[in-house]
Homo-oligomer: A and B are copies of this chain.
Amino acid sequence: MADSDVIDRFTAFLRDRRLPITQQRLAIAAILLRAHGHMSADDVAATLAADGQKVGLATVYRTLDLLVSCGLAEQRDFGEGFKRYEPMHAQPNHYHLTCTVCGAVAEFFDERIPDIIRRTAAARGFVPGQHRLLVRGTCRACRKTPSVLDRRPM
């Protein structure tokens, strides 16, 4: 639950691999893991900069990779032309509703979906791994602006 808990998991991971526990790594982990949204590498760097810490973008990318490797974060692609990183303390398996007007991302889960996938896959001899479901649309707040800007890849 506590932030420090997650940071501890990260430091344990680093120690385990005999990798230095640097200020930058801790700062980046703190920013991403404390965030509720889905941040881009740039978002992380900007937050860091706003905080007075200047960390190179390359370091941000490298550290985000580490967080992904140890399972504390996941890379996401919403088809925006860049990637976002999602902290993994949330539900392990969930789907996304993204608003094409304001960019807000809401999450939901329905266990019927993995079930449908399991059956469909089994019927074709396909062994399913991860899956994702992305729904684009308009959130309650933006309802008035239906958004025709939906020519992005799915």
Are B150 and A137 in contact, with the CB atoms below 8 A? no
- Report whether over half of chain A's contact residues are helix, strand or loop; otherwise say mixed: mixed
Q: Say whether, besides A151-B75, A153-B75, A154-B77, A126 and B137 are in contact (CB < 8 Å).
A: yes
Are A97 and B138 in contact, with the CB atoms below 8 A? no
Task: Report the contact-size class of chain A (Cβ under 8 Å from the partner).
Answer: 35 or more
Q: Say whether, besides A112-B116, A113-B113, A134-B131, A125 and B154 are in contact (CB < 8 Å).
A: no
Complex CA distance for A144 and B79, rounded to whole angstroms = 31
Contact of A154 among B76, B100, B137 (CB under 8 A): B76
Are A126 and B106 in contact, with the CB atoms below 8 A? yes
Binding site for B on A (CB under 8 A): 68-69, 74-77, 79, 83, 97, 99-100, 106, 108, 110, 112-113, 116-117, 120-121, 124-140, 143, 146-147, 150-154
16 interchain pairs, CB-CB under 8 A: A75-B151, A83-B153, A97-B121, A106-B124, A108-B124, A110-B116, A113-B116, A113-B133, A121-B135, A125-B143, A127-B143, A129-B147, A130-B135, A130-B154, A132-B133, A134-B134
